[in-house]
Amino acid sequence: MTKHVRFFSTCVIAVILCLSLPALAQKKDEAGKRHAAPANKQRKEIMQFLDDAKKAIQSKDLNAIMAIYDPDVIAYDIAPPLQYVGAAAYRKTWAGFLDMYDGPLDVEFRDLRISASGDLAVTYSLERISGKLKDGTHADLWFRVSDVYSKKTGKWLITHEHVSVPIDFASGKAALDLKP
């Protein structure tokens, strides 16, 4: 089986698991009462992961940013091409993005949703990155991010990332001025 087929299979399984998480997230004890399952542990781990990722982006630490990705990550980003295959390819885009800014970045996650079961997790949110561009202007962009995570050797890694912005179909241009 190729890496891409295994990756696609993992993503399909992750989506199925996450859709069934409401039923999995609670278990009945012997008295029939419902109680939280271990998903709370995964949620805390993912929250810490996102906090670490936020700090890495804010400080423009490319190595720390790339440490959150599986080496075989498949990413769909707002910058061309249609997909990035592997962390090495995605690193180039991150490096170019960070290089556009002068100084630290501000990062915000809004409407964050986390679903986790076992060694798979999914997050989706609205995210904002803002900062001073090298030409002195201030950039402030909201976008949508969905990530699929896999826990490997005790560490969460992003195996698939999808970043997008809405499109104004009348003009054919990205709608970059939208805010939640």
**Architecture of 3-19+39-174 per CATH?**
Roll (3.10)
Q: What pTM was estimated for this model as a whole? A: 0.78
pLDDT (tens digit per residue) in 66-97: 999 999 999 999 999 999 999 999 999 999 99
pLDDT band, residue 163 (cuts 50/70/90)? very high
Q: Check residues 99 and 6 and name the one with the higher pLDDT.
A: 99
Q: What is the mean pLDDT of residues 113-118?
A: 94
Lowest-confidence segment of 101-105, 132-136, 174-178 by average pLDDT: 174-178
pLDDT of residue 21: 44
pLDDT (tens digit per residue) in 10-35: 444 444 334 444 444 444 445 555 44
pLDDT of residue 52: 97
| C-alpha to C-alpha distances, 144 to 37, 88, 106, 123, 140, nearest whole angstrom | 29, 23, 16, 11, 14
Q: What is the mean pLDDT of residues 152-177?
A: 94
pLDDT band, residue 123 (cuts 50/70/90)? very high
What is the SS3 assignment for 68?
A: coil
| Count, residues in the chain | 180
pLDDT of residue 96: 96
The angle at the Cα of 49, spanning 48 to 53, to the nearest 5 degrees, equals 115
pLDDT band, residue 40 (cuts 50/70/90)? confident
Report the C-alpha dihedral over residues 162, 113, 111, 78, rounded to 10 degrees: 0
